[in-house]
Structure 1
Amino acid sequence: MKAFAVFFCISMSLFLVFSKGKNKEEKNPKLQSDTCRFDGKKLYGKIKLVEYSSQADIKVKIVNSFPDIKVKFVESFADDCGEWQIVEHGEDLRVYITENFADLKIKPVNSFPGMSR
């Protein structure tokens, strides 16, 4: 019985160690942190906030912790990962903000936008 308990503890420890090694891409296969894209769409640039989810390219949930991407809202030159310039026309990406069934979780920040590897 002791041998079984020791074997069980070791196997559970190994399982926990290896299961923590998964990265964000394995959790969300459409998210590409190396190119700052989601499902082929870049996550920076000119963003239009839309009123209905059917109009959106992606649906996002605003969170305070464990975001998929940290977003900095800028007035111009949104050309780095996580920099969003809100516009009415000429958008690169249409975003719908929701509480349920979001594609991505974002956290608004004042500095250091982007995705963690």
Structure 2
Amino acid sequence: MKKIITTALLLAFIVAGMSFSFRQAERTYSMNSYEKVYKTEIKELTPEEKLNAFEYFSATSDCSFKGIELKGKVKFVTSFPDIKIQYVTSFPDIKVKHVTSFPDDCGEWQIVESFPDFEVQVVTSFPDLKVQLVESFPGMN
């Protein structure tokens, strides 16, 4: 079961175009492209190394969109946003909690008018991300 999950997770990261690296037993694996990883490095990993890679991916989950961290200070705009969002009640891409200070965790947004980390426009169709507002447990799905 672990082997299936590990392989599926590795392929998901590769297909998504994400790059990662980890160090185990004084061997460094740099996995930057689908072809390189699939044809050479994944085949070279032992089952133990694959398990270590799975644990690494679980510990360093990504909370970003187009290089923008989805936490911090946000300004709502009507034009030229960094991200277009649509509010939904089910099947969101991210669950967001509005906070008044210290928006340090994934999905915690503090609404500001100046010096935002990113700008958001609310749309009703063709969003970049679907957002569900929550009171607890914000984060990516």
After TM superposition, the structure 1 = structure 2 runs for residues 65-76 of structure 1, keeping only pairs within 5 Å, are 65-76=90-101
CA distance in 2 between partners of 1:104 and 1:34 (Å): 17
State the shift of 1:34 in Å: 1.7
Aligned: 1:86 with 2:111: yes
Structure 1 equivalent of residue 136 of structure 2: 111
Question: After TM superposition, which residue ranges in structure 1, 4 or more long, deviate above 2 angstroms?
Answer: none
How far does residue 35 in structure 1 lie from its aligned partner after superposition? Answer: 2.0
Structure with higher RCO (Cα < 8 A, 6+ apart) = 1
How does 1:51-70 map onto structure 2 within 5 Å? 51-52=78-79, 55-70=80-95
* d(CA) in 2 for partners of 1:64, 1:112: 15
Structure 1, unaligned runs of 5 or more = 1-20
Unaligned runs of 5+ in 2: 1-7, 18-59
RMSD: 2.3
Structure number with the higher helix fraction is 2
Matched residue pairs, number? 89
**SS of the residue aligned with 1:105?**
strand
| Sequence identity (%) | 51
Q: Under a length normalisation based on structure 1, what TM-score does the superposition of the two structures give?
A: 0.69
Structure 2 match to 1:39: 66
Instruction: Give 2:114's aligned amino acid.
Output: H
